[in-house]
Amino acid sequence: MSTFASSYRKASLALAEWAFLPIRLAVGYGFLAHGYAKLSRGPEKFAAVLHTLGVPEPLLAAWAATLTELIGGAAVMIGVMIPWVSIPMVVVLLTALITVHLPYGFFTVKFAEVTEAGIKFGTVGYEIVLLYLAGLTALVLGGPGELSLERWLERRRDRAREQQALQSLARKS
């Protein structure tokens, strides 16, 4: 193995724990932004959309989706309880995939036409939904990464256990 390859491998291993930070920030912010948009417009407006899609109990579903996006997005951003909050987040994503995005194909950005007023875009496909699902999957499988509330709490618990063990040893001697 060359010196460059060896150095690159060591550096990438040292930085691997930080790879989850940009994923957490992007996925978490995306969910927060969507949840905030629903909340600021009023979940009743989103419930009307859900009603037209045939979703049962559309107002309850609108509130559930809004709160899932807000709470889940915040938890992902700060890096805590990701496996648990991912479950309802995946349900929201799969529901959006099936009820809205799937019929429009893969691409998120589709140019409908270019006019003097600017570019007009067409329907939104499922590309972005797959990216969110991939991001959540990576976070569930790999953990929240080094700069996360979960890791901070782990380190704090470990220090407390070490102190208790040291105090216990000191009492015995």
Residue 120 forms beta bridges with which residues? Answer: 113
Integer angstrom CA distances of residue 93 from 108, 138, 150: 14, 15, 24
Mean pLDDT, 10 residues at a time, the chain of 173 residues: 78 82 97 97 94 92 97 98 98 93 86 84 89 97 91 91 87 79
Task: With respect to residue 72, please indicate whether it lies within any of the assigned structural domains.
Answer: yes
Q: Any idea of the CA torsion for 109, 20, 140, 151, to the nearest 10 degrees?
A: -150
Report the candidate in 28, 50, 15 with the shortest Cα–Cα distance to residue 132: 28
Structural domain boundaries enclosing 29: 19-146
- Number of domain units in the chain: 1
In a domain, 57, yes or no: yes
Establish if 49 belongs to a structural domain: yes
Q: Where are the beta strands (DSSP E) in 7-158?
A: 111-115, 118-121
pLDDT at 52: 93
